[in-house]
Structure 1
Amino acid sequence: MKYEFLKEPRLQFADGTHICPRKGIATYGVFDRSMSTRRTTINVGGVGSSRCLEALGGWLDRCAKVIEAPEDTNQPNLQAPFCGFTADQGFCSQLAFNSELSRQIRNTDIDEILKIKDRNERVSKAINLYYEEIKFLAQNRVVDVVVCVIPEKLYKKVALEEPVEEEEKLEVSVEVPKELNFRRALKAKAMHLGKPLQLIRAVSLKDKAKGQQDDATKAWNFCTALYYKAGATNPWKLETDPARPSSCAVGIAFYRSRDRQVLNTSLAQIFDELGNGLILRGTPIDMRKDDRVPQLTSQQAYELLTTALNEYRIALRTYPARVAIHKSSNFSNNEIEGLRNAARDLNIDTVDFITIHDSTIRMFREGNYPPYRGSLVSLSDSRHLLYTRGSVWYYQTYPGMYIPQPLDLRIVHSEESPAFLAREILGLTKMNWNNTQFDGKYPVTLGCARKVGEIMKYLDEGEKPHIRYGFYM
C-alpha cells in the first residue's frame, strides 16, 4: 500500500491561474475574455408569476454589484465575496433583463393546477404552462438563456414530490409507473427551442433566505451557470502542459427509459482543451434477464467512440493523440475490443481504460477531520483510492456534511502512471460550471453523463438531443 498526496489542479483564467474558480474570476477575469465569440451582454429571459419576475429582476440587479461574504464566516476562502457581474472586471459582461424579455404566468392558472389531484396530470399541466412562455421568448425575443422561477406553492406540488432515484441503479422493477420529473421533463421538452433553461425556486431569490446558501455563494453559482449556458466558451479551463500531446476524456454511462424497461447508453465527451462538452446518445442495450451489469457490444462501442471522435475532429480539425475512457461499470472484453478498434482505425496513438466506482473502503486521518482531497492510496498496480471529497487545505475545513467516500479507480489499461491518471480525474472534478465550490466528487465525464441520461430519457427516439452540456445542467 502506497500513499501519495496530489496537489490541487490549477485553473487557467484570462490573466493568470488559480486553484479556485471564484478567486480566479475575481482576480484574473474569465478565461474567454479576449475571445470574439463571447457575449459582453447576456439577455436573460424570465418566466414566472408577477411576484417571481419582480424578485428575479431585483436579484439580477443585486448580482450586478459586489455581494459581501457573511460577517460571521470562519472560512473566508469557502464563503468568498461575489465580485459582481459587471463589464469592468470578473465576468467582464452584464446581464440584461426587462419586461420585454419576461413572460408572466397568471396566478389563476397556477391555482387551477394546484387543484388537480392526480400528480402526473398536475406536473404535465405545469410543464405545458411554462413551456408555452419559454417557446414565445425563444421564437420572438433575443434571449440567451431563460430563467424559470417556480413559486413555492407550485414547487411543493410539482417538484418536491419528485421520486428520488439512486444513481446508476440498474435493476429492473416490475410494473413501475413512468417517472415524471418536472425539471427533467421541462428541459427535454424545451430543448428543441435552442435556449438553455435555468430553473430556480422563488425562495432562492430572497435576500438571506432561511435554509439557503449565503447570498454571495448563491450569486457565484447562479451567475457562473448563466454565463456558461449563454456563451460559446467557458469561464475557466484546466491548466495544461503544452509539451504533452493533445488528449480528450470520454465518459460512458447507462440510463433506463422512464418505464425502466429499456436500457440506453449516454455518452458525454469533453471534446477540446477549453472543456467544451459534446453530448451523444447511444443505441439501446439488449440485456438478458441474468445480466446484472449493462454492456455494449463490440459494434456499439466501436460506433459510439467513432462518432464522438469524428465530432472532435470537426471541432478541432484534428484527432486527439490520446483518449482516456471513463466508465462507471467494468469494461467487458467486447467493449474494449470495439473501443480499441475505433481508436486504431482513426490513428489514435493511446487509449486508456479506467473504471470509476464509489469505494466502500475509507481511510482515517488523525484528528476529527477526514483525509485531504487529493489523497491517493495505491492498493495494487491496477487499483487505487482517490479522495476527491475531503478536507480542503485552501478552505481550511472539510466543506461536506457526511463522511466522504473515495473513488475506486480500476486501471484496466493505460500507458500513463496511476498518479497522472488520478491528477487528471481530480482536475476533471473542477469542470462543473453549475457550482463554483471546486471539490466536486465525480469527474465531469461521468457526472455529466449521468445528468444527460436523466434528461435524455424524456426525449423520443426520433428527437435529436442537443450536443451542448448547458442544456442538461
Structure 2
Amino acid sequence: MIAWNYCVAQYYKTANCTPWTIKDIDADTCYLGISFHRINEDGNNHLRSSIAQAFNKDGKGLVFTGKQFEWKSEKTRVSTPHLKYGYAKELIISVLNQYKLINKHTPKRVVIHKTSDFWDAYINSDYNELDGIIDGIKEVLGDNVEYDLVTIKSSQLRLLRNSDYPVLRGTLLKVSNEKAYLYTNGFIPYYDTYPGAYVPMPLSIENIGETPIVDICKEILALTKMNFNNCSYCDGLPITIQFSKKVGEIIQYFPKDIENPPNKYFFYM
C-alpha cells in the first residue's frame, strides 16, 4: 500500500501524468465542490473561509480559497456556513475564469457539490447563495449553460438485503426526480466482500437542475474513484467533497501573508 501510494504520487506530481480516468463521464462538464473551514486564529471562533475545488473528467483539480467571512451560528441557528449573494457570485466567477484559463477549455455544464442545502432569498434573504451561484455561472458561460446544484449529506436510512453482507456499492433508492439515496460504500463483487469496518451509510442526494437524479448519482459514484492520494478502491465521498477536508486542514496553517495559495491539486497530496 505504501509503495503504491508513493508511485502514484510521483507519477502524478513529478511526471505530471494522469494515473487513471473515468470513461463514461462528460468531458464538457466542470465539477465543483464548495466547502468551508475554520480560520485558526486565537480568540475567534467565527472566522471561516470557503474552499472551491474544480475538477475535469481526468481528475485534474484546481483549488481556490475565498475571502474570510464571519459566521455566527447563534444568529442563523445553523452551524454550517452559507454564502451571501455577492460572495457566492464572486467566488464562482473567479473559479470558472481560472478553470477556463488553465484548462484552455470552456465547459458547457457546471455541477456544484455541497454538503449543505443551497439557500435562496426565500429561506434567508441575507444569504441568497443560490441566485449568486447561478448568476455567476451565467455571467461567465452564458445563459445557455447547463448547471446542477447538488447537496450531498450523510443519511441515517438503511437498506437491507437477504445476505450476510450489506447492500452492493452503487445501490440507489430514487425518492423523486430531485432526490435519491446512494450507497457509495457496500459489498463489492470484485472483492467478493465488503471491505469496510462499519455498517455502510448511504448518501442523501438532492439536485437543483435539469439532469435526472439517476445520472447525478452515477457521476457521484464515478467521482468517488478519482482520489489519486490513496490506493483505495473508492472513497465514501466524491473527490469534489473528499479532497476539501484535506485542503482545509492544510490551508489553516498557511502564513497570513500568503494571499493566493497554490491552486494545483497535487500541491495538497
In 2, Cα distance between equivalents of 1:231 and 1:306? 31
Following TM superposition, the consecutive aligned residue runs of length 4 or more in structure 1 with deviations greater than 3 angstroms are: none
Partner residue of 2:57 out of 273, 282, 297: 273
Partner residue of 1:236 out of 4, 9, 20: 20
Structure 2 gap segments, 5+ residues each: 121-127
SS at match of 2:214: helix
- 1:345 aligns with 139
TM-score by length of 2: 0.89
SS at match of 2:219: helix
Instruction: Indicate conservation of the 8 Å contact 1:264/1:285, yes or no.
Output: yes
In 1, Cα distance between equivalents of 2:115 and 2:206? 10
Structure 1 gap segments, 5+ residues each: 1-216
- 1:286 aligns with 70
1:112-141 alpha-carbon deviations (Å, 9 max, x no partner): xxxxxxxxxxxxxxxxxxxxxxxxxxxxxx
Q: Is residue 417 of structure 1 aligned with residue 190 of structure 2?
A: no
Q: Is residue 257 of structure 1 aligned with residue 29 of structure 2?
A: no
Q: Is residue 371 of structure 1 aligned with residue 167 of structure 2?
A: yes
- 2:194 aligns with 398
- 1:465 aligns with 261
Identity of aligned residues (%): 35
- Residue correspondences, number: 253
In 2, Cα distance between equivalents of 1:236 and 1:220? 14
In 2, Cα distance between equivalents of 1:418 and 1:446? 18
Report the alpha carbon displacement of residue 225 of structure 1 after superposing the two structures with TM.
2.3
Instruction: Indicate conservation of the 8 Å contact 2:113/2:152, yes or no.
Output: yes
Q: Which has the larger radius of gyration?
A: 1
In 2, Cα distance between equivalents of 1:441 and 1:459? 28
In 2, Cα distance between equivalents of 1:218 and 1:295? 38
In 2, Cα distance between equivalents of 1:225 and 1:265? 26
In 1, Cα distance between equivalents of 2:36 and 2:141? 27
In 2, Cα distance between equivalents of 1:255 and 1:332? 19
Instruction: Indicate conservation of the 8 Å contact 1:358/1:406, yes or no.
Output: yes
In 1, Cα distance between equivalents of 2:70 and 2:131? 18
Q: Is residue 330 of structure 1 aligned with residue 117 of structure 2?
A: yes
Instruction: Indicate conservation of the 8 Å contact 2:30/2:107, yes or no.
Output: yes
Report the alpha carbon displacement of residue 287 of structure 1 after superposing the two structures with TM.
1.9
- 1:219 aligns with 3
In 2, Cα distance between equivalents of 1:342 and 1:354? 16
1:51-74 alpha-carbon deviations (Å, 9 max, x no partner): xxxxxxxxxxxxxxxxxxxxxxxx
1:329 counterpart letter in structure 2: S
In 1, Cα distance between equivalents of 2:100 and 2:193? 43
In 2, Cα distance between equivalents of 1:326 and 1:426? 13
Instruction: Indicate conservation of the 8 Å contact 1:245/1:321, yes or no.
Output: no
Q: Which of 1 and 2 has higher RCO (CA within 8 Å, sep 6+)?
A: 2
Q: CA RMSD in A?
A: 1.6
In 2, Cα distance between equivalents of 1:447 and 1:345? 28
SS at match of 2:19: coil
Partner residue of 2:106 out of 302, 319, 326: 319
- 2:94 aligns with 307
SS at match of 2:67: coil
Q: Is residue 439 of structure 1 aligned with residue 223 of structure 2?
A: no
Higher helix residue share: 1
TM-score by length of 1: 0.51
Report the alpha carbon displacement of residue 419 of structure 1 after superposing the two structures with TM.
1.1
